[in-house]
Amino acid sequence: MDIKGDKNGFDYEAFRQETIAKMLAGEKELTGKDGLLAPLLKDLLDAALSGEMQAHLEQNRPNRRNGSKAKQVKTGHGPVEIAMPRDRDGSFEPKIIGKRQTTLGEGLDNRILSLYSKGMSYEDIQEHLEDLYGLEISTGQLSTITDKILPIVEQWRSRPLEPVYAFVWLDAVHFNVRQDGKVISKAAYNILAVDLQGRKDLLGIHIGDAESARLWLSTLTDLQARGVKDLLICSIDNLSGFGDAIETVYPKADVQLCLVHQVRTSMRYVVCKDQKAVAADLKPIYQSATVTGAEQKLADFTDRWGQKYPLVVESWQRNWLRLTRFFEYPAAIRRVVYTTAPAARQHS
């Protein structure tokens, strides 16, 4: 793809002047006070609390609702202002957020956000909520809360998207869930994008417990069905099959592997006493001014470390084309796409 020219009427100069400037200014991040995840978390917390209240009233007639009170709760994705429902006789005791609780339990935010994940059925959401609430909830209460949450989740997951996105990043949040009597770790992969006006949007959340070409092909096909006709640049970590899936659904997209992840992966093969020196010798590769310069620095690295750490060299050589896509763009764009971590880009 050559966005330096005209692609379907795409004005690169206008893009460079407007989109990049807005993005580097950090208008929207994934997390933080004004981040993209906080409103999603608020919607689900409000719905869950509303469901709790409805279940409480059904069991305590003739009690009824008595409005709500705004309350700010600290979460791992920034502060969230929720609407704490109140009842006439003051007997309602919310479970997911207690009356005097001001901080969401550790890891609970990511587990709640994972309810937005594509592919979660009514039964999956209900099972997930049962794990969140534990023994404090009855079957009837669980159904009432699920009924409140499902329409919000479905509306967000099926909303129409822009036809073209300039940048797309894939990043993950991790959380623990109880499954088959065991606590296991899962990752919810966030698809964060920037449109041609420089606006950031979270396109989707996908549970990544089965990383495969089939999973990511389904993910990209879903984006296409929701109106996304083209992606210009995709920055991803080296998840199995994801780069291939992007190029299958969006063959003109440029796929850039996250260099931060690549360096971290490289360090897994390096003994502790060599890590500082190896990291220092890897840095000139991706900090080169041109791809030709980067190739020479990789050759220098191979001469010094190739015999001792052949797996590091093999990894860089195998992924070279997708590690060096960013060299095709101006410096401002390079700083935006070389890593999948939005927060890191703002401080690079």
pLDDT tens for the chain, residues 1 to 348? 444 444 455 555 555 556 555 555 555 566 666 678 889 999 999 999 999 999 999 999 899 999 999 999 999 888 999 999 999 999 999 999 998 899 987 778 888 888 998 778 888 888 889 888 876 788 899 999 999 999 999 999 988 899 999 888 877 666 676 666 777 777 777 888 888 877 888 998 877 655 556 777 888 888 999 999 999 889 888 777 788 889 999 999 999 998 988 999 999 999 999 999 999 999 999 999 999 999 999 999 999 999 999 999 999 999 999 999 999 888 777 877 777 655 333 333
- pLDDT at 29 (0 to 100): 65
Question: How far is CA 192 from its chain centroid?
Answer: 6
Q: What are the CB-based long-range contacts (under 8 Å, 24+) for 328-331?
A: 328/254, 329/233, 330/16
How far apart CA 193 and CA 90 sit, in angstroms, is 44
Structure tokens that stand for 130 in this block: 């049962």
**Cα gap 288→296, rounded to integer Å:** 9
107: left (phi over 0), alpha (psi -120 to 50) or beta: left
Q: In the numeric block, which tokens belong to residue 186?
A: 């899962």
As a whole number of angstroms, the distance between CA 346 and CA 30 comes to 12
Residues 6+ apart with CB under 8 A from 203: 161, 165, 168, 191, 192, 193, 223, 228
Instruction: Report how far apart, in Å, the C-alpha atoms of 18 and of each of 7, 27, 197, 267 are.
Output: 17, 12, 7, 37
Q: Return the pLDDT at 14.
A: 58
Which of 220, 273, 223, 276 shows the shortest CA–CA distance to 248?
220
Residue ranges of E strands in the chain: 65-73, 80-87, 164-179, 182-195, 200-207, 230-236, 254-257
Q: What is the pLDDT of residue 166?
A: 86
What pLDDT score does 108 carry?
83
Q: Per residue in 263-282, pLDDT tens?
A: 999 999 999 999 999 999 99
- In tens, the pLDDT along 159-209 reads 889 999 988 887 766 667 666 677 777 777 788 888 887 788 899 887 765
242: nearest Cα among 266, 214, 262? 214
Each residue's pLDDT tens digit, 305-318: 999 999 999 999 99
pLDDT at 338: 77
